[in-house]
């Protein structure tokens, strides 16, 4: 059951990211965390993190020269870091945003359950 929720979270995050924008990816994590009810942070982190990792690799394979040049420029702006740190930072941000969104969704689910039992 949890694998299905993670898969749906990843697909939803991917669709929201590509159709509406990256800032909407955590909405999928909120929904996944709400649905999971426990360990929602993990569902959100894995779902959004997988989606962002897939997008990074897709971009690398679709237009490698342009993406690597962009990474080189961004890395040089941020203090001369290696280009791969741009990709790693993007993936880490996806996991963090997903984890926080999943935690929010789990908290909403717990709040609703607690409110209904009183």
SS3 annotation, 41-67: HHHHHHHHHHHHHHHHHHHHHHCHHHH
CA 45/CA 12 separation, integer angstroms: 13
For the stretch 7-54, pLDDT in tens is 999 999 999 999 999 999 999 999 999 999 789 999 999 999 999 999
For the stretch 89-105, pLDDT in tens is 999 999 999 999 999 99
Q: Domain limits at 105?
A: 2-117
In the structure, what pLDDT confidence band is assigned to residue 69 with cuts at 50, 70 and 90? very high
Single pTM value for the model = 0.89
* The pLDDT value given to residue 112: 84
Indicate whether 118 pLDDT > 70.
Answer: no
Indicate whether 74 pLDDT > 70.
Answer: yes
Task: Identify which of 28, 1, 2, 34 has the alpha carbon closest to the alpha carbon of residue 15.
Answer: 28
Number of domains into which the chain is organized = 1
């Amino acid at each position: 059951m949890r694998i299905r929720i993670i898969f749906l979270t990843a697909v939803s995050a991917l669709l929201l990211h590509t159709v509406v924008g990256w800032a909407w990816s955590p909405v999928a994590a909120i929904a996944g965390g709400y649905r999971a009810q426990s360990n929602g942070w993990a569902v959100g982190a894995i779902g959004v993190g997988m989606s962002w990792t897939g997008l990074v690799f897709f971009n690398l394979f679709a237009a490698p020269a342009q993406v690597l040049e962009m990474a080189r420029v961004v890395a040089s702006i941020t203090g001369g870091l290696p280009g791969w740190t741009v990709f790693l930072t993007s993936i880490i941000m996806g996991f963090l945003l997903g984890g926080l969104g999943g935690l929010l969704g789990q908290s909403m689910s717990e709040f609703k359950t607690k409110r209904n039992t009183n």
